[in-house]
Amino acid sequence: MLILFAILAFFATIIGGYFAFKFKNRLHFLMAFTAGVLVSLAFFDVLPEVVDLAESSNLDLIKPMITVMIGFLSFYILEKFMIVHTCTEDDCENQHHESVGLLGGAGITFHSLLDGLAMGAGFLINPQIGLLISLGVILHKFSDGLCTVTLMLTNKNDRAKITGLLLAVALAPIVGIFLPQVINISQTTLTYILAYFVGFFLYIGASDLLPEAHERGNTLALALATISGAVLVFAASRFV
């Protein structure tokens, strides 16, 4: 049963990525929509999980919140300083964009790995809990595929890199489902990992995708696309 859900998550991711390829001529709308998805995912999906884990571990909530800020600022530092200063003047802009896309995609891959870990852990605890977690993961995987390809296209990566990273994101949950069986990850460690990626996704959505999207099209239409992405994730997190 668990393997079946992992396979469904794989194909949901691939379909989301294909959708982004298919409609790349509307990339600014996809960027705006993806920004809403990422920010909403951070607030309504990952952050509540951080709070729940912190409370169940008797962890002072200020520590995960500091980790959220570290996640936000660390990506800012990588984007603004380390990535820019590793290239020459002539190819700096292209290398900067490609590196940002790869880093963003790597973050989504790790998030997908944690999705698989959550599925595996859920079934170990209780099959019903595992079923609910798996259904939620499958619904989110379309957005993950969409986000991955949109980020890479936005940041001028070539098709081979995009396809490779999309496959990594799609395969990550299948790998993740076996992690609880081979390694022991404490709740405290998982809390900090998830908190870091809250900041990571907030930065990508609000500081990278949205400004780029709004340079390319109608502000009202893009705002509606962003709101649509946010509402979609909110509905999935509340009613699934």
Among candidate residues 68, 66, 88, 107, the one with its CA nearest the CA of residue 209: 107
Does residue 72 contact residue 203 with C-beta atoms inside 8 Å? yes
The total of other beta-carbon atoms located within 10 Å of residue 9's CB is 29
Maximal CA-CA distance, the chain: 56
Residue 142 and residue 12 in contact, taking contact as beta carbons nearer than 8 Å: yes
pLDDT at site 88: 41
Q: Is the pLDDT of residue 240 over 60?
A: no
- Cα(118)–Cα(176) distance, integer angstroms: 8
Query: What does the pLDDT look like over 29-86, one tens digit per residue?
Result: 877 887 888 888 889 877 888 898 899 889 999 999 999 999 899 877 766 664 443 3
In terms of residue numbers, what domain contains 120?
Answer: 2-239
Q: Residue 34 contacts by C-beta under 8 Å, 6 or more apart in sequence?
A: 143, 146, 147, 150, 151, 205, 209, 229
Helix (H, G, I), strand (E, B) or coil at 59: coil
Does residue 239 contact residue 57 with C-beta atoms inside 8 Å? no
Q: pLDDT tens for residues 123-168?
A: 776 777 677 677 767 766 877 788 788 777 776 677 888 888 889 9
DSSP 217: S
pLDDT of residue 84: 41
Q: Report whether 28 contacts 210 (CB < 8 A).
A: no
Strands (E), 63-137: none
- Count of domains in the chain? 1
Residue 189, pLDDT above cutoff 90: no
Tell me if the pTM is above 0.85: no
31: Cβ contacts below 8 Å, ≥ 6 apart: 150, 154, 209, 210, 212, 213, 216
pLDDT band for 90, please (50, 70, 90 cuts).
very low
Arithmetic mean of pLDDT over the chain: 78
Q: Is 178 helix (H, G, I), strand (E, B) or coil?
A: coil
Q: Summarize the confidence of residues 171-175 as an average pLDDT.
A: 89
